[in-house]
Amino acid sequence: MSILPIVFSEEVRSALNEGRAILALESTVISHGLPYPLSIEVLNELESVTRANGVVPATICLLDGKCLVGMQERDKERFIDKMQDEGLSKIALRDIPMAISQKKSGGTTVSATMLLAHKAGIKVFATGGIGGVHRNWQDSKDISMDIKALEDIPVIVVCAGAKAILDIPATLETLESKSIPVYGWQTDEFPSFYSRESGLKVERIDDLDSLAQSFILQTAITELRRGMLLANPIPKESEIPFERIQLLIEDALKSAKGISGKELTPFLLDALAHISDGESVQANIALLKNNVHLGSLLARKLSQLS
Ligand code: PSU
Ligand code: MN
């Protein structure tokens, strides 16, 4: 039993008891990644996509210092109230203990969601994009805690690659240095969130069976126990061409002068949404759904094998 104050939704609790497939979803994308009220509509849609695939969604967040694994309707209402009253925290891995002791509410980032999913016994987690090595890292030293979590926590993260607001080559090299496996779903090219391309190669994987098998092996061998990244390209019809998004990102980065630390990623996402006139938000929603669909299939595969 975990010493973390984990509260399961009824749906997640019974799925755990019955050994049914569960998919973890994060909440920073809701609290900080997308504008409200669209953010909540998107969350409900992601949960519907999960259920339509026969999988139970476990949206993870902190609410009044409790670690929620699965948000019920009343939790979402309280989360929104908190957002409107005092604002929600962005809670990364290192922030969890203090957030609990100060009874905070907030969105859990990829790193924090990975930990709570793992503690709850959930192996697959779908999100939009991971944090990584920021551009200008040589000076700023800004490397997301998501990479640290992928190194330490045995959960598979399905994402649409890494955003071009990051230094993608440096992000991939760092993942490799830390011996974190990265696979491209039915692609030889590492996707860059809004675009299917990045110009960088990735090891291709075409079947979920071998992926699930290798994750089970990796988890069983102490020296290899770590996370795994499955990069799923955005659907063609929703992508923003790489050259075009690069230009928009340059503009967003210019406007981010003086912004650093945990504020940087939400700031850049918001700036991009404005500069692209909402196009980046539409792309974000499309890739989230796509990742949740693939994550659900993977969660099912893993629950059949384990
Ligand atoms: N990328 C997105 N949307 C997001 C995030 C990343 O496209 O909402 C969030 C995720 O929760 C991720 C976090 O874990 O930002 C990374 O923040 P930072 O760069 O401060 O580590
Ligand atoms: Mn950072």
Residues 159 and 301 in one domain: yes
Q: How far, in Å, CA of 214 to CA of 209, rounded?
A: 9
How far, in Å, is the centroid of ligand 1 from the Cα of 297?
24
Burial class (CB in 10 A: 0-12, 13-18, 19+), 250: exposed
Q: How confident is the model at residue 29 (pLDDT cuts 50, 70, 90)?
A: confident
Mean pLDDT computed over 175-187: 98
For all residues of the chain together, what is the average pLDDT?
96
Residues 215 and 296 in one domain: yes
Mean pLDDT computed over 47-60: 98
How far, in Å, is the centroid of ligand 1 from the Cα of 131?
5
Residues 235 and 89 in one domain: no
Mutate to test the pocket of ligand 1, among 28, 111, 171, 262 (most ligand atoms within 8 A of CB): 28
Residues 154 and 266 in one domain: yes
Final residue belonging to a domain, choices 105, 122, 139: 122
Q: How far, in Å, CA of 50 to CA of 44, rounded?
A: 10
| DSSP code at position 108 | E
Q: How confident is the model at residue 2 (pLDDT cuts 50, 70, 90)?
A: confident
Task: Report helix angle 110-120 to 145-152, nearest 10.
Answer: 20
Residues 140 and 263 in one domain: yes
Question: Omega before 37 cis (within 30°)?
Answer: yes
Q: Which of 76, 90, 163, 289 is catalytic?
A: 163
> Which ligand is located closest to the Cα atom of residue 193?
1
Residues 14 and 93 in one domain: yes
Name the closest-CA residue to atom 17, ligand 1.
131
Neighbours of 29 (CB within 10 A): 24
With a pLDDT cut of 90, the percent of the chain lying above it is 95
Give the model's pLDDT for residue 100.
Answer: 98
**Quick check: is 163 catalytic?**
yes
Mutate to test the pocket of ligand 1, among 109, 136, 264, 284 (most ligand atoms within 8 A of CB): 109
Residues 221 and 207 in one domain: yes
Q: Which of 26, 47, 189, 239 is catalytic?
A: 26
Residues 295 and 165 in one domain: yes
Name the closest-CA residue to atom 2, ligand 1.
129
pLDDT, tens digit, 9 for 90 and up, residues 208-250: 999 999 999 999 999 999 999 999 999 999 999 999 999 999 9
Give the model's pLDDT for residue 44.
Answer: 97
> Which ligand is located closest to the Cα atom of residue 163?
1
Q: How far, in Å, CA of 14 to CA of 166, rounded?
A: 39
Residues 92 and 134 in one domain: no
**Residue closest to 294 by CA, chosen among 19, 11, 71, 55:** 55
pLDDT, tens digit, 9 for 90 and up, residues 123-159: 999 999 999 999 999 999 999 999 999 999 999 999 9
How far, in Å, is the centroid of ligand 1 from the Cα of 135?
15
146 Cβ contact partners less than 8 Å away, ≥ 6 residues apart: 109, 110, 111, 114, 130, 131, 132
Cβ atoms 115, 91 nearer than 8 A: no
Residues 248 and 136 in one domain: yes
Q: How many structural domains are present in the chain?
A: 2
Give the model's pLDDT for residue 1.
Answer: 53
How far, in Å, is the centroid of ligand 2 from the Cα of 149?
13
Give the model's pLDDT for residue 30.
Answer: 86
Residues 37 and 138 in one domain: no
Final residue belonging to a domain, choices 63, 94, 122: 122
Give the model's pLDDT for residue 306.
Answer: 83
Domain of 299 in residue numbering reads as: 128-306
Mean pLDDT computed over 20-36: 93
Alpha helices in 183-263 (DSSP H): 208-220, 242-255
Neighbours of 203 (CB within 10 A): 11
Final residue belonging to a domain, choices 93, 122, 151: 122
The CATH number covering residue 295 comes to: 3.40.1790.10
**Quick check: is 77 catalytic?**
no
Residues 84 and 162 in one domain: no
> Which ligand is located closest to the Cα atom of residue 114?
1
